[in-house]
Amino acid sequence: MLPEAVAVLTEHLVRTGNPSSLHAAGRAARRTVEEGRERLAAALGARPSEVVVTGGGTEADNLAVKGLFWGRRTHDPSRRRILVSAVEHHAVLDPAFWMAEHAGAEIVLLPVDADGVLDLDALRAELDEHAEQVALISVMWANNEVGALQPLHDVVSLARRHGIPVHADAVQAVGQVPVDFAASGLDALTVSGHKVGGPGGVGALLARRGLELTPVLHGGGQERGVRSGTLDAPAIASFAVAVDSAVAAREATAQRLTELRDALVAGVRAAVPGAVLRGPEDAARRLPANAHFTFPGCEGDSLLYLLDSAGVACSTGSACQAGVPRPSHVLLAMGVDEDDARGALRFSLGHTSRRADVDALLTALPGVVDRARAAGLAGRSDRADRGHRQPSGAR
């Protein structure tokens, strides 16, 4: 967390008062919430009335996908199609597929190119043929795994011709690239606290005025009746300070992180010649704090644990279901071979990152890759042996 966000959080944690209460303490808490809302709106190019506070990015994405779908179908039951890019975060993909299973939605996964960037021709073709059946479109501002910036201006332009609302998950983008809700033309946008140096468990959905959203949570009717639940005044105040600070320092931070990322990318390529950078090669088309590689012959989990033992924290970017590691859906959508996709690592930089951190990674990486490859070879050999020993008739 940013020091200023920590200071605000701890200051407000010792104060009493429910923002929905009418006594003096409640009114003070309400003032804290509304000042935070105004600060968030100013930093993100929105009106205060457009800021719906949530418990994080996942809740905001669920509210956008489910709320927009139900809101649209109330007036036009024929609008059953939800268009999402194939590389969306699971906080968008999973509620979309849940709607298909439980609410009669039809999901269209829009393809991406080898860099992870949305195929606009595919979106255009889909709208030309089925626009009257589309309830909403959701395309992230920037991909969380490979850092690819998406052509949102073109997405919004295409959707506007048909009166279709567009949502974007901008959790990764805020504080790294310019994000202006009004200028974007979007109907809804997701932001989260923990990605910008704020606390976890708080976020917001920016929803334009007049947008019909069916609530996902029901109760006391807070947040325009769209998101019920007692508001966390300390977290909201801290969240607002973090977003404001991150946006104000964005240009300087982005330049510094871009230099670190470029040093990291060059260093990884020199240390492990077979490593493949994923996402756009053009630095201007990817997030400044993101570097994503695949390492042939390695399992991402092995690389992660070995690097963790060396004091380097990173991510595989892959989902793990029921304890079984699976290749990243993002890489598979980009056309990466399944075996190669298993050897993925995402390196993320932030406001605490320094050149010494990059150097520590580059020092540890060659040995880690050698050990992971050796383990991978042994594992494949063992699986092959066990396969040969299967009894006849085994499947």
Catalytic residues: 320
Alpha helix ranges (H) inside the chain: 3-13, 24-44, 57-75, 90-102, 120-130, 152-160, 181-184, 233-248, 250-271, 300-309, 329-333, 338-341, 355-388
Cβ-based neighbour number of residue 233 at 10 Å: 24
Phi, psi of 183 (to 5 degrees): -65, -30
Encoded tokens for 156: 């919004």
Residue 208 phi, psi dihedral angles, 5° rounding: -60, 150
Distances (CA, A) of 301 to 278, 327, 363, 384: 18, 11, 19, 20
Beta strand pairing call for 290-294 and 276-278: antiparallel
Sequence-distant (6+) residues with CB within 8 A of 98 are: 66
Using alpha carbons, select from 377, 369, 365 the residue that is nearest to residue 264: 365
What is d(CA 153, CA 139) in angstroms, rounded to the nearest whole number? 11
The four Cα atoms 181, 255, 92, 34 give a dihedral, to 10 degrees, of -40
Strand pairing report for 188-192 and 166-169: parallel
Which value, in Å, is the radius of gyration of the alpha carbons in the chain?
Answer: 23
Vertex 181 angle, CA 55 and 212, to 5°: 65
Cβ neighbours, 10 Å, residue 135: 23
Measured in whole angstroms, the distance separating CA 310 from the mean position of its chain's CA atoms is: 27
How many H-runs (helices) and E-runs (strands) does the chain carry? 13, 12
Phi, psi of 138 (to 5 degrees): -130, 115
